[in-house]
Structure 1
Amino acid sequence: MLRVLVFIAFIFLVSAGLAWLAERPGDIVLNWQGYEIRSSLMIAALAVAILFAALAILWTVIRAILRAPGSFESYLGRRRRDRGYKALSDGMIAVGAGDARSARKAAKESRTLLGAEPLPLLLTAQAAQLSGESADARTAFEALAARPDTKVLGLHGLFIEARRQDEHEAAKHFAEQAAETAPKIGWAGVALFEYQSRDGDWLGAMRTLEDAVRAGAVDKATAQRRRAALLTARAMELEAGDPAEARAAALEAHRLDPALAPAAVIGARLLSRASDYRRAARVLETTWKAAPHPDVADAYAGVRHGDSVRDRLKRMRKLAELRANHPDGAMAVARAAIDAHDFAAARQALEGQVKAGPSEAVCLLMAEIEEREHSDEGKVRMWLARAINAPRNAVWMADGRILDDWAPVSPVSGEVGVVAWTVSPEPPPSRVALQIEADLAAEQRMTVEPSDAPRIEAKPAPEPEIIEPEPEAPDAGEIVADDASVVSADEPPPVAVAPAPEPVPAPEPVPEPEPAPPPPRPEPEPVPEPKPAPVTASAVSAKASEPAPIEEPPEEPVIPPSPDDPGPMPDNDEPDQPRPRRFGLF
């Protein structure tokens, strides 16, 4: 709009000047070399204008002729550059589409047309990465890192390639160079912080974290949580060698994150060593109010050395009142009561948890109470069986993985300060439950006798012989008995009857081809054989006409096992060793 106004103003001034000249006519006389040239002022002005226009046109023609080679070369360069950028654009689209072949072709064409410019080098590196050619990609990124304007870009590419090849030392080196070149680059600070944390360089990690906070790459809440985790890790490292420094680090971590149980436990333990029991108790109470944890309860119970179990029970009750009706508080009181042999108080503390549905830890505590108070194996088994299917307890978790202890760095992602005390949404089989199942199965496999004792195999009892009655009466002269003995008729003969139901010793085992036959069954105690009463021949014939009764041999009474019987225990080769426990507590 301004240019239009200026143009209109210029036209107005020119028109006004021409009008002013037209209103004031005059003559111009030029004497040169004996010639006299006379003209009006208006014509002279018009001639001067034409002359200047002709000179301008002539200069333009001459300049065009002189600049023709350069102009032609510039035209060709612009055309070449346009083709190069067209190839570069096609290559970027091919990389985004995953077409490695087209990307390599476009990268080669763009480098040919544009030369060693940053964008063709970047396209070459990306095409090589897409094709899996790490050497070519590294060469391209090294060329980018050698240029001052693209050094950070090249270092980032080299960092990615090093991590793909699991060359973490090289990746850490590239991250350090990038952080020194551009401190405000987010990826460099994050990567360097991760490597320093994994290597246990807690001080270097804290310095890198501070730089990231100043650069705005990490928010303050996340920075506080990570710094608390790093300070706790440093306190754990220095606890044995430098207690004063470890105590300062633990208390600083507790100040930054009061809910971090390991920091509070370490700080309270070191304060107790310095005989500052009141401050140690305050630290643990603050953490218990924020997030109850079994380790905090254990540390609070032993905050003052030399206390009796009754004093610890009182202290546990005081701690449980800070977070009333919390499961960890009830279990802490129950554990202290068990140690004090106050099993009634332990049952009372767990009563609410049992009614609401006991967890695994509650079932194990109830099993321990039953064992230590009454030695009731039946109820112990019942609580152990309930513990197998009970809801799982809270555990240390990081990125969906269950850990045995707290750790400052996640073993899955390498992130700092993400390990949390929580219940898994999909809990895996409990290790305590699996151990209980294994112990119960082992008890069921136990036998009465050791494996090396001789086995007694049951032999079938011989069936009694049945004497069928004869159709004719036997001769009076002799009577044939079962043992084929001849009895004289002058003497009262014994009656031929079936064998009496008396315990018969097992027959001798038939020799077998095995080299080591099983030992014979032990002989039972002998029973006196009843003597046959003398009877007459008529009685013998009447008795023979009746079928002999068949009686089964008496069986040994079987006593059913008690439902609370844990089963026989194997012989212990080393009787001095205590009997192992069948369950454990966290």
Structure 2
Amino acid sequence: MIRILVFALLVLALGAGFAWLADRPGELSLIWQGQRVEMSLMVAATLVVSLVAIVMFGWWLVRVVLTSPQAVQRYFRARKRDRGYQALSTGLIAAGAGDAALARRMHARTKGLLSADQEPLIHLLDAQVALIEGRHDEARQRFELMADDPETRELGLRGLYLEARRLGANEAARQYAERAAEKAPNLPWAAEATLEARSQASQWDEAIRLVDQKKTALPGERKDLDRKKAVLLTARAADRLDGNPKGARDDALAALKLSGDLVPAGLIAAQAYLREDNLRKAASILEKLWKSGPHPEVAKLYVRARSGDSATDRLKRARKLEALRPNNPESLLAVAEAALEAREFDVARSKAEAAARLGPREGVFLLLADIEDAETGDQGRIRHWMNQALKAPRDPAWTADGIVSTEWRPVSPVTGRLDAFEWRMPVNELAGPTEEGALARAEEALRTLPPVAVPTAAATPEATVAEAGPEPQPIVVDAQAEEPAADAVALPVVGDTAKPAVERKAEEKVPPKVAAKVEEDGADEDVKPFFGGLPDDPGVKDESRKDGTTGFRLF
């Protein structure tokens, strides 16, 4: 374009010059060697311009003749180079597609048309062909040659890294990744691999430095880097919590600034504040986390923030969490557990049933079984809730790559991936019933709950005396023995309601099927279990609890 513009300007200048001479006519006389030559000024200018054009054309013609061998050579060389690059391109595409035969032919053609020193990508094509054909040793040699060349260093290191990972040589893979990260910190695979290696070794300072070195202008990548740095800061805070609570608090607060919904960071910051007896700031952090997303670990730490609180005080704190996030299963469960400890069974039952309707799962039904055991001790109702817990989906947990952990970890123990653990339902429960089916089953469980077993009149002393039948035969018990032997106790007969405590204890050990057989056969028949005797003595029952409840806790 510039050349065309210059040529047009030159033509315009010549035209303007000739027009200017035409408007100003004149004569030109030239005496040379006794000859007088006269002509007009226009003719003289035309002759001069023509002479210059002839000289330029002659010079171009001479130059073409003199440089024609080199021009012909350059032409054939360019044509050969173009054919070589075409073969190289076709070979790389064939290698990527897995066509080993075509890639091998194109590789041979490329080596005949191009030089490896001239085009380093020939080593890449050679390595790809070797990988397709299974010649991994030769491929590694090509990658090493590429790693020594500054132009293909990163490409060669990546090939060596992938080969080391394939062979399971994790230490060699880490070294290749570190070399690549030192030369090019912005390489995603090198930075990620080095970061995972530092994280697996718990070298949190080095890992944080690697994250800070990576520069990017994309908002999505910046957000991902902030999340990774928050996880690394949280991991370092967890290691510092016992020895350096202040440093752990600073790291956890910095992590919360980068990722406000990172629950482990908030828990560590709250624990650090509690160790400094700063309950107000700890509660503020936990309440903010609870508003962003209710979590059972947040509720547990918030409710039990003060070790000297009574059960009623803990119930009040649980109700405060419920006020922050009403109609939430986690809020209802927190209140139900605190109410159970405070012995407010009506509140605990209503909240637990509401949580079962909103989010039925294993822990909710186990809590209902605990409430039933503490309030009524009705084994039928307890078994009902236990049965529902067996069929219900499992509780959410910290899960990563199929591994369920009781506590949060910064790195997956399977793949070494950073920030892999998530609070969700375990993987083996994902294919369970749908949400509608679970809710319908929870409603069915609440509707089919058996009523509380009412004690019969025979259980009272007055009714026992009134309805007592024939006097039972006395049972001889060794006074020196603290507990009678199972084989020394006779089975009770039907109608014998006034039984001694030892005989009632033995009767409780009779299996339900045997007791039913006793009722069918009558009072005069001795019924023995089919296995030949009574079961082993379970031990002395705790008679200290007068309310009829047991110390059995499920949740």
Q: TM-score, normalised by structure 1?
A: 0.66
Residues 1:83 and 2:83 are matched in the alignment: yes
| Partner residue, 2:440 | none
Cα separation, partners in 2 of 1:46 and 1:9, compared to 1, 3 Å: closer
1:131 maps to which of 119, 122, 133: 133
* CA deviation after TM superposition for structure 1 residue 173, in Å: 2.5
Give the corresponding residue for 1:475: none
Structure-2 separation of matches of 1:244 and 1:229: 18
- Shifted more, 185-194 versus 358-367: the winner is 185-194
Query: Which secondary structure does the structure 2 equivalent of 1:559 belong to?
Result: helix
Matched, 1:558 2:517: yes
> Is 1:419 aligned to 2:427, yes or no?
no
Q: What is the rounded CA distance, in whole Å, between the counterparts of 2:324 and 2:47 in structure 1?
A: 108
Supply the distance in 2 between the matched residues of 1:338 and 1:87 (Cα, whole angstroms).
Answer: 78
Cα pair distance change 1:573/1:375, threshold 3 Å? closer
Which residues of 2 match residues 513-532 of structure 1 at below 5 A? none
Q: CA deviation at 1:45?
A: 7.8
Measure, in 2, the Cα distance between the counterparts of 1:390 and 1:138. 53
- Within the alignment, does 1:212 sit opposite 2:171 as a pair? no
1:44-443 alignment, distance < 5 Å: 59=59, 63-64=63-64, 66-116=66-116, 117-213=119-215, 216=218, 219-354=221-356, 358-398=360-400, 402-411=404-413, 414-423=416-425, 427=429
1:58-102 residue CA offsets vs partner (Å, 9 max, x unmatched): 655654554354344333322321221221122133234321221
**Equivalent position SS for 1:300:** helix
Opposite residue 368 of structure 2, the aligned amino acid is M
- The 8 Å contact of residues 88 and 110 in structure 1, kept in 2 or not, is answered as yes
CA distance in 2, matches of 1:111, 1:71: 24
Relative to structure 1, is the Cα distance of residues 339 and 57 closer, same or farther in structure 2, using a 3 angstrom cutoff? closer
- Structure with greater helix share of residues: 2
**Aligned-residue offset at 1:269:** 2.3
User: Contact (CA 8 Å) 1:145, 1:152: kept in 2 or not?
Assistant: yes
Map 1:540-559 → 2, pairs under 5 A: 558-559=517-518
CA distance in 2, matches of 1:54, 1:3: 20
* CA distance in 2 between partners of 1:155 and 1:130 (Å): 19
For 2:112 and 2:123, the matched residues in 1 are separated by 11
Matches of 2:412 and 2:37, distance apart in 1: 100
- Secondary structure, in 3 states, of the residue corresponding to 1:150? helix
Residue from 5, 8, 24 that aligns with 1:5? 8
The amino acid of 1:76's aligned partner reads F
Match of 1:571 in 2: 536
The question of whether the paired residues in 2 share the 8 Å contact of 1:316 and 1:336 is answered with: yes
Asked if 2 retains the 8 angstrom alpha-carbon contact of 1:316 and 1:332, the reply is yes
Distance 2:270 2:53 in 1: 97
Larger Cα Rg: Structure 1 or Structure 2?
1
Q: Is the 8 A contact 1:176 1:188 kept in 2?
A: yes
| Distance in 2 of aligned mates of 1:356 and 1:226 | 34
1:381 deviates by 0.9
User: Which deviates more, 338-347 or 63-72?
Assistant: 63-72
Q: CA deviation at 1:12?
A: 1.6
Instruction: State the shift of 1:574 in Å.
Output: 8.8
Q: In the superposition, relative to structure 1, how do residues 166 and 575 fare at CA in structure 2: closer, same or farther (>3 Å)?
A: farther
Q: Structure 1 residue 24: deviation in Å?
A: 4.0
Q: Aligned partners of 2:61, 2:405: CA distance in 1, in Å?
A: 85
Say if 2:249 and 2:272, in contact at 8 Å, map to a contact too: yes
Q: Report SS of the residue matched to 1:368.
A: helix
Q: Structure 1, residues 193-219: CA drift from partner, whole Å, max 9, x if none?
A: 233223322222222222225565864
Shift of 1:411: 4.7
Equivalent-residue separation in structure 1 for 2:35 and 2:551 (angstroms) = 136
Q: Deviations over 1:288-332 (max 9, x none)?
A: 222212211221232112323332223222332222222112222
Query: Following the alignment from structure 1 to structure 2, what is the Cα–Cα distance between the partners of residues 281 and 270?
Result: 12
Q: Secondary structure at the match of 2:398?
A: strand
Whole-angstrom CA distance in 1 between matches of 2:534 and 2:183: 72
Aligned to 2:517, the other structure's residue is in SS state coil
Task: Give how far 1:7 is off.
Answer: 4.5
Per the alignment, residue 435 of structure 1 pairs with none
Local SS of the residue matching 1:67: helix
Structure 1 residue 276: deviation in Å? 1.7
Matched to 2:518, the amino acid is I
TM superposition shift of 1:394: 2.4
**Kept after mapping to 2: 8 A contact 1:29/1:38:** yes
The separation in 2 between residues aligned to 1:80 and 1:328, in whole angstroms, is 73
1:582 shift after superposition? 8.9
Q: Match for residue 484 of structure 1? A: none
SS where residue 183 of structure 1 aligns? coil
Q: Is the 8 A contact 2:127 2:139 kept in 1?
A: yes
How big is each residue's C-alpha offset from its partner over 1:330-373, in whole Å with a ceiling of 9 and x where there is no partner? 22222223333333332233242355574321210111122233
CA distance in 1, matches of 2:359, 2:244: 46
After TM superposition, give the deviation of residue 399 of structure 1 in Å. 5.9
CA distance in 1, matches of 2:100, 2:371: 69
Q: Is the 8 A contact 2:195 2:210 kept in 1?
A: yes
Give the whole-Å Cα distance in 2 for the aligned partners of 1:559 and 1:576: 25
Distance (whole Å) between structure 2 residues aligned to residue 150 and residue 191 of structure 1 = 20
Aligned length: 448
**Contact conserved, 2:164 with 2:172, CA < 8 A, in 1?**
yes
Mapped to 2, the partners of 1:219 and 1:48 lie a distance apart of: 69
Letter in 2 for 1:407: R
Q: Conserved in 1, the CA contact under 8 Å of 2:180 and 2:190?
A: yes
Counterpart code for 1:210:
D
- Residues 321 and 115 from structure 1, CA distance in 2 versus in 1: closer, same or farther, beyond 3 angstroms? same
Q: Verify the 8 A CA contact 1:194 1:414 in the aligned structure 2.
A: yes
Which is worse superposed, 207-216 or 331-340? 207-216
Distance in 2, Cα, partners of 1:355 & 1:86:
68
* Other structure's SS at 1:363 match: helix
Residue 459 (structure 1) aligns with = none
Aligned partner of 2:536: which letter? D
Distance in structure 2 (CA, Å) of the matches to 1:343 and 1:373: 7
Equivalent residue number for residue 539 of structure 1: none
In the alignment, the residues of structure 1 paired with residue 357 and residue 69 of structure 2 have an alpha-carbon distance, to the nearest angstrom, of 99
Report which stretch shifted further, 147-156 or 113-122.
147-156
Tell me the residue number matched to 1:504.
none
Contact 2:245/2:275, CA 8 A, preserved across alignment: no
How big is the shift at 1:50? 7.5
Instruction: Note closer, same or farther for the CA distance 1:210–1:560 as it changes in structure 2 (3 Å cut).
Output: farther
Change (3 A) 1:213 1:326: farther
Q: Deviations over 1:150-207 (max 9, x none)?
A: 3333333333333333333333333333333233334433333233223322222222
8 A Cα contact 1:398 1:420, kept in partner: yes
Contact in 1 for aligned 2:329/2:358 (Cα 8 Å): no
Taking only the aligned residue pairs, the percentage that are identical comes to: 39
- Kept in 2: contact 1:125–1:138 (CA 8 A): yes
Q: How does 1:413-492 map to 2 (within 5 A)?
A: 414-423=416-425, 427=429
Gaps of 5+ in 2: 433-514, 521-530, 543-549
Quickly say closer, same or farther: Cα 1:223–1:78, change in 2 above 3 A. closer
